[in-house]
Amino acid sequence: MKIGFIGVGVMGNGMVKNLLKHGYEVNAYTRTKAKAQEAIEAGAVWKESVADCVRDADAVITMVGFPPDVEEVYFGADGILENARTGVPVIDMTTTSPRLAERIFLEAQAKGLRALDAPVSGGDTGAREGTLSIMVGGERETFEACLPILEAMGKSVLYMGKAGSGQHTKMANQVAIAGTLAGVCEAVAYGRAVGLDTEAMLSAISGGAASSWQMLNNGPKMLREDYAPGFFIKHFVKDMTLADGEARLRELPLPVLEKVLAMFRALEAHGYGNEGTQALIRAYE
């Protein structure tokens, strides 16, 4: 079975390698060929365009950056909907808007294609180790048909409901992270301000009711001022902006999300967009 994989970057390389490891053939395309080097060396076949990448594929996966990129690879003249074979499942694993996921679903359907929205959580480590959490929206039948493909990349692959539900679940995930990460930052900032040994402090509070993935993984990075991106600020700003927009449309105030988003936007405006989300601690300095 041959998969056309579009968007081979920090996440995509690991995902492609796991597909190859599970016996899938993979066509690979991404804007900057050099970024796909790892996947190509592992056995993916490089293609020079989206159209070439999907033309002979039995399934299509996209993992690109921002909603406009998703629109281009799906709806462009050189895009997936114009060039994929009839009946093929097309799986967008980019985190994008639930609204866009619904549009892809409907337009794909009109072309005889079956779309899933399947954003992930677990970062580059999860992508490399094949332990991503994958949250899937679309028709259940399509989900079930694609399960083996998704399970090659993830450890938890869950059907969340109709088209857009995968994206909505990912939004909820990002909303939870926003508050949690800010809580960790404020605890670290507090510890510094009062003169605690912050390393001892973090290990004291990491075992109980304050514990979180964010604390265990990003807390120590904050302490050693390691801002290398596990997850880029610029991508988190994108995700939180989408979630904030969806909440506003429904007149649901999410004051903590709004506050955290404002802090991250300020960091991005100061040029920190390519740092990891743990750099939120800079907002407290």
Amino acid residing at 64: V
Q: Whole-angstrom Cα distance, residue 199 to residue 223?
A: 7
Q: Hey, is 92 helix, strand or coil?
A: strand
Cβ 184 to a second copy shortest distance, Å: 6
Q: Closer to a second copy at the Cβ: 36 or 243?
A: 243
15 is an interface residue for a second copy by CB under 8 A: no
CB-based contacts of 277: which residues, under 8 Å, 6+ apart? 177, 181, 218, 229, 230, 231, 232, 233, 236, 264
Task: Using alpha carbons, select from 25, 22, 101, 98 the residue that is nearest to residue 62.
Answer: 101
Window contacting a second copy (CB under 8 A); options: 12-20, 37-45, 54-62, 210-218: 210-218
Residue with Cβ nearer a second copy (34 or 194): 194
What phi and psi values does residue 245 have, to the nearest 5 degrees? -60, -45
φ, ψ of residue 20 in degrees (nearest 5): -60, -45
Cα 157-145-161 angle, rounded to 5 deg: 55
By the rule CB under 8 A, 271 interacts with a second copy: no
169 binds a second copy (CB under 8 A): yes
Which two tokens mark 251?
């007149």
- Which long-range contacts does 198-202 make (Cβ < 8 Å, 24+ apart)? 198/223, 199/223
Q: Do 239 and 191 touch, CB atoms closer than 8 A?
A: no
The only residue of 59, 101, 160, 279 in contact with a second copy, by rule CB under 8 A: 160
Asked if 180 interacts with a second copy (CB under 8 A), we say yes
Pairing mode, if any, of strands 114-117 and 132-138? antiparallel
Residue 285 Cβ vs a second copy, minimum distance, rounded to whole Å: 10
Question: Is 162 a known active-site residue?
Answer: no
Q: Does 158 bind a second copy (CB under 8 A)?
A: yes
Q: Which residues contact 133 (CB under 8 A, 6 or more apart)?
A: 120, 121, 122, 126, 154, 155, 156, 158
Q: Does 231 bind a second copy (CB under 8 A)?
A: yes
Candidates 1, 211, 225, 245: give the one binding a second copy (CB under 8 A).
211
Q: How far is the CB of 133 from a second copy (least distance, A)?
A: 4
Is 79 or 98 the residue whose CB approaches a second copy more closely?
98
Cβ proximity to a second copy: between 206 and 274 the closer is 206
Residue ranges in 17-76 that form contacts with a second copy under rule CB under 8 A: none
Per-residue binding letters, 83-102, with a second copy (x by CB under 8 A) = ---------------x----
23 or 208: CB nearest a second copy: 208
Output phi, psi for 128, to 5 deg. -70, -45
Per CB under 8 A, 151 contacts a second copy: no
Catalytic residue among 35, 111, 155, 170: 170
Q: Give contact residues for a second copy (rule: CB under 8 A).
A: 98, 121-123, 126, 133, 135, 155-156, 158, 160-161, 165, 168-169, 171-191, 193-194, 196-197, 200-201, 203-205, 207-215, 217, 231, 243, 246-247, 250, 252-257, 259-260, 263, 284
Catalytic residues: 170
